[in-house]
Chains A and B, each alone.
Chain A
């Protein structure tokens, strides 16, 4: 990031605060390499880096009213990107602490019902098809709230649907999936 680009980003953010959507879109696209660079310092997996980048974009959107144009934009953006990268590291550590690596779990057994890993893959394919067949609003609710594990507020922000509409869509989607999969869906 050069000094002139940081200054330009500050102007774009000030315009975004005033409701200029195109300036905001340009800003969010231009900062992606910088944010990815910070995320890569903490994470090696490309998927996780992209998760952090999206989390940073959502955070920027939520706290965009806190940016003061008289202060450097780079410090504001850098603090958000660092914080969310570290949050992701903490989440990863928490998740890892609750999981056990067991090579024996990859073995398959003569009894088909014992081959849970393979059947899980099959279930996953069926579930993916069932989700794809849902109406767009219900599919989006499942994707945001269950697959991406967003909170209702985040999903509402990302989708433009109200929290109430998201709840109803998710409820209907779960019912439809239960019908399709024969009751194998957890609420």
Chain B
């Protein structure tokens, strides 16, 4: 018997039933639902909702919020889809349009700041805070997401981790808006993007061992 036949015999001997993984869309919805509940409780308990409502009435900020939130949701859905072996890589394009919307609306706000305040539009607002906030919320969210994603043992952990990182960082950035009662400057926006990039890099670095649990070489 050759090596492949021996392997087949070993794999099939005493085979145990396995629990089929629920569809990725359902798993993404459950995770997003849980995060929504926790986020809503946090916002209700700690944020200044009146100030936020007043700011959100500005259509430009509303667009930015929609772009940030949808980027988070769509990137998480893309991560769950990509974790399955037979899903094409083009799922990674899902959050691109909303990410562009987020960047464009934020960039426009920065430009307005610069026009109104001149060089002051380049000043760092609460940049360091923002960075720590996004990373501080993003990392625990990423860990909880990884726990679910690793159940599929993704064949290509890199893109899955990148989507998961973009998703949690965007959701953290969306939450930040409830505690961020001022328009962003270019430096603030740069810091937001640096935080998103940091989460994505951390997620990708953790992916090789953390996501593909059955494969250690």
Contacts and interface: CB of A to CB of B under 8 A. Distances in A.
Interface of A: 16-22, 24-25, 28-29, 32, 50, 53-54, 57-59, 61-68, 71-72, 75-76, 78-80, 83-84, 149-154, 157-160
B152 interface: yes
B13 A160 contact: yes
A62 B153 contact: yes
Given A25-B8, A54-B7, A83-B85, A63 B15 contact: no
Majority SS at the chain B contact face: loop
A65 B85 contact: no
B85 A79 contact: yes
Contact of A62 (B8, B9, B12, B214): B214
B4 A50 contact: yes
The main secondary structure of chain A at its interface with chain B is helix
Interface residues of B, number: 31
B141 to A, nearest CB: 23
Contact of A20 (B10, B15, B215): B15
Given A63-B152, A65-B20, A57 B216 contact: no
B13 A21 contact: yes
A17 B16 CA distance: 8
Contacts of A158: 7, 10-11
Nearest to B23: A68
A151 B215 contact: yes
A160 B155 contact: no
